Amino acid sequence: MKKITINEFFKSSKKLAVHPGTYENANALCKAFDKANYVWWSGIKYIGHNGYEYYKDKTCYTNKGTYCDINLCKTFGYKIIEFKDIDLK
């Protein structure tokens, strides 16, 4: 399977969410989002806050600039992408 790029993730018209699985992966993901010049829906940089402490290993990051529990993402129809399937470059 081809990995999805950060830009493809954010520019997709589909509802997508990345499940990092670990705190370390969440930090790496937020760092990559920041490097690609994306910000949270509120305009705050990703690098300052990853929100992982709220949902821990169930945390997902949506392409709408939010984070939530993986089960909530599924309930709202988001396609879940695992961390290993996203290209951080």
Q: What is the pLDDT of residue 2?
A: 86
pLDDT tens string 34-52: 999 999 999 999 998 899 9
50 half-sphere exposure, CB direction, 13 A CA radius: 26
Q: What is the pLDDT of residue 1?
A: 65
Residue from 47, 4, 45 nearest 26 by CA:
47
State the average pLDDT for the chain. 96
Domain ranges (residues) in the chain: 4-87
Q: What is the pLDDT of residue 31?
A: 97
Give the whole-number percent of the chain exceeding pLDDT 70.
99
Q: Which residues of 11-24 are buried (b: 16+ CB within 10 A; e: fewer)?
A: eeeeebbbbbbeee
Rounded mean pLDDT of 55-83?
A: 97
Give the number of residues written for the chain: 89
